[in-house]
Amino acid sequence: MMKYKELIGMVLFFVYSCLIFGQAAKKESPSAELEKKLKKVFFEMNRLDRPGSAIVSVKNREILLKKGYGLASLEMRNPIDHRTVFDAAAISRTVTALAVSILVEQGKLAPTDSIHKYLKQLPVLSSKVTVADLLYHRSGLWDWEKMLAISGWNEGDLVTLDHVYSLLRKQKKTIFEPGSRFTFSHTNYTLLAEIVKSITRKDFREWTWLNIFRPLKMNATLFKDRIGEPVENQAFAYIYDRMAGYRRNPDNTALVGSNNLYTSIGDVAKLLQEMNQPQVFKQSIWNRMLQPGKLKNGELMRQCWGMRMDTYKGLKRYSASGTWQGYNATLQFFPNQQLSIVLLTNWESRWNNPVFTGGNLVDLFLEQQIKEAKVKPKENKKTVKGSDKAVDKTLFKSYTGNYRWNPGFNVKILIKGENLFIKFRGTDYPLVAESSNRFKLLVAPFKFIFKKNSAGQIDRFLAIRGNGEPEIKAKIKLVDPTKISYMDYVGQYRSDLLGIRFSIRYENEKLLFHRMRCPEIALKPESEDNFIIDTRTFKIIQFKRGKKGKLSGLCLDGYDGLFFKRIVE
């Protein structure tokens, strides 16, 4: 029998332990603190009555976070976890670029090779398109998603590789000189997958499984190349509309390379570990992917192989972000910190922005590094003033006017005193001249470069946000909607190249646009001979006139090489 003193001693030790550990429990653990912050970031998705997301973060090779929020299926009510499989949208292109880099490492292709070396079924265009042009989105090839929409495809219609090749065989010349500018096109990475298939004599799905996913033990990952194929643990994609509620997005494509990478965060974690600290693939394979491209004029691009390079709050970053058929995804890789974050979601809505959410996550994991990067020298006002003296201010007047920032939203360049200003949402902001045609905005990280057309007139400026790619903002001449002769635009328009036609009619003071198999859409006047059209894939209709000012046809969203001639009946 236990002695009385020993029993008293054990009781006192137990009470003391409870007091000590009870006080410690009041102090939140680091994981509890992180969980608290994550709830704020994911408050819109941390519910079991809507679709959600999955997040994984890896530092070096250590998994910091692997968590799911919301529902994989609204019908089955099953929650998202680390095994849930999503279409990884833009991250598909990162893996496709990895496949190409592996083949380059093996000496089986070169970035400078013409794509026609491997894709004999494509027509020989007037300009050479290289593998690198595809990788850097500077090919000038039609975007098959836009072209199918123009041709009358509706959301939900089946899209196969045959449809893409059928369209590309009709393209006689590139939209622009390959290598001269950046323009995103799904076609680029779809064709890269075809090049891998041509070289290896294996379907892209099979080759990536054997050479990427199996070596990395990503057993739940595949490029889905069969329409309607069931995928184990799949999260279904939904689109949310405030009036109509949720609807499930259709599974209607069998195209790989640019999209259709199906994976889970459990598998993605293994890819991120390899990206941070390679063990399966050589470091040179990853280094090649991280090299930014160059344009023909020598300008350095932000686009790399399957990712874009920029800085986030002073930290160097590579990222891939985008949406596809209701799925959203973002990958962020910080090489100097060896931190990677991937966020996958299964719904589209106005408050579901993976890029914004991903940024909030970066703030959590790299809080100290961001604080250190924020320490910057103040603007030297003397330098700015001195550079201003060398500027030819007589050119400023040619820069003034209205510019299309986005379809339906314009900005105005104006002169106040001797200086140039930009009017943005009703407020005038000063532009500081760095040269006679290059300016910077002090209130936001923007630079503007004014450009001339072949006639020597200013017709656009390039807007560069931070370290991003230049975006073209066209100069436009605004018109009074009440003074437009709408009947001038009524008629039939045909593309002999595509063999399709559009019709435009006027009814109830509205100009109505109709394309095959699609409902009519009202056109909203924007500027001289330019109208806004509210579709998912193209936003601007540009009417063209001949030498005598007579209407000759139209183009869509800058696809100047694709002309729809007006038919006189």
Q: What is the DSSP string of 489-539?
A: G-EEEEETTTTEEEEEEEETTEEEEEETTS--EEEEEEETTEEE---SS--
- Residue corresponding to tokens 């680390």: 82
Distance between CA 84 and CA 94 in Å, rounded?
20
Average pLDDT over residues 504-517: 91
Res 337 pLDDT > 70: yes
pLDDT of residue 229: 93
Res 12 pLDDT > 50: no
- Residue corresponding to tokens 């609204």: 74
Average pLDDT over residues 295-317: 93
**Helix then strand then coil, % of the chain, to nearest 5:** 30, 30, 40
- Classified as helix, coil or strand, 205 is helix
Res 13 pLDDT > 60: no
Mean pLDDT value across the chain: 87
Distance between CA 15 and CA 121 in Å, rounded?
81
pLDDT of residue 336: 95
Average pLDDT over residues 21-34: 50
- Predicted confidence band of residue 355 (pLDDT cuts 50, 70, 90): low
- Predicted confidence band of residue 125 (pLDDT cuts 50, 70, 90): confident
CA 39 to chain centre: 26
- Residue corresponding to tokens 């589209």: 348
Closest CA to 339 of 313, 369, 310: 369
Average pLDDT over residues 333-337: 96
Query: Residue 388, exposed/middle/buried by CB under 10 A (0-12, 13-18, 19+)?
Result: middle
Average pLDDT over residues 458-479: 89
Cβ-proximal residues to 52 (8 Å cutoff; 6+ apart), any chain? 42, 45, 46, 68, 69, 70, 71, 72, 79, 80, 345, 346, 347
pLDDT of residue 408: 85
Q: How many CB atoms lie within 10 A of CB 257?
A: 31
Res 41 pLDDT > 90: no
Q: Tell me how many degrees the CA angle 238-243-249 measures, rounded to the nearest 5.
A: 20
pLDDT of residue 25: 38
Average pLDDT over residues 430-439: 94
Res 75 pLDDT > 70: yes
Q: Which two tokens stand for residue 64?
A: 């910091």
Q: How is residue 312 annotated by DSSP?
A: E
pLDDT of residue 354: 62
Q: Which helix (H) or strand (E) holds 10?
A: helix 4-26
Share of the chain above pLDDT 70, in %: 89
- Which of 96-100, 511-515, 532-536, 543-547 bottoms out in mean pLDDT, i.e. has the lowest? 532-536
Res 426 pLDDT > 70: yes
pLDDT of residue 554: 93
- Predicted confidence band of residue 284 (pLDDT cuts 50, 70, 90): very high
Q: How many CB atoms lie within 10 A of CB 381?
A: 8
Res 173 pLDDT > 90: no
Average pLDDT over residues 539-564: 86
Closest CA to 531 of 547, 514, 513: 513
pLDDT of residue 388: 46
Average pLDDT over residues 183-207: 97
Q: Which helix (H) or strand (E) holds 193?
A: helix 186-200
Average pLDDT over residues 31-55: 80
- Which of 107-121, 344-358, 399-413 bottoms out in mean pLDDT, i.e. has the lowest? 344-358
Q: Helix 161-168 and helix 186-200: axis angle, to 10°?
A: 110
Cβ-proximal residues to 95 (8 Å cutoff; 6+ apart), any chain? 88, 208, 212, 223, 261, 271, 306
pTM of the complete model: 0.85
Res 251 pLDDT > 90: no
Q: How is residue 488 annotated by DSSP?
A: G
- Which of 54-68, 330-344, 555-569 bottoms out in mean pLDDT, i.e. has the lowest? 555-569
Condensed to tens digits (0 to 9), the pLDDT of residues 58-71 reads 999 999 999 999 99
- Beta carbons of 94 and 100 less than 8 angstroms apart: no
pLDDT of residue 17: 40
Q: How many CB atoms lie within 10 A of CB 248?
A: 16
Closest CA to 335 of 360, 356, 357, 304: 304
- Predicted confidence band of residue 429 (pLDDT cuts 50, 70, 90): very high
Res 129 pLDDT > 50: yes
> Could you tell me the maximum CA-CA distance found in the chain, to the nearest angstrom?
115
Res 512 pLDDT > 60: yes
β 347-348/401-406 pair status? unpaired
- Beta carbons of 48 and 71 less than 8 angstroms apart: yes
Average pLDDT over residues 359-377: 78
Q: Which residues are paired to 332 by β-bridges?
A: 319, 341
Q: Which helix (H) or strand (E) holds 22?
A: helix 4-26
- Predicted confidence band of residue 204 (pLDDT cuts 50, 70, 90): very high
pLDDT of residue 363: 85
Q: Which two tokens stand for residue 246?
A: 């949720």
Res 377 pLDDT > 60: no
- Which of 152-156, 283-287, 356-360 bottoms out in mean pLDDT, i.e. has the lowest? 356-360
The DSSP code sequence of 83-144 is T-EEE-TTHHHHHHHHHHHHHHHTTS--TTSBGGGT-TTSPPPSS--BHHHHHTT-S-PPPH
Distance between CA 111 and CA 108 in Å, rounded?
10
pLDDT of residue 349: 64
- The sheet carrying 62-69 orders its strands as 62-69, 53-59, 339-345, 327-334, 315-324, 308-312
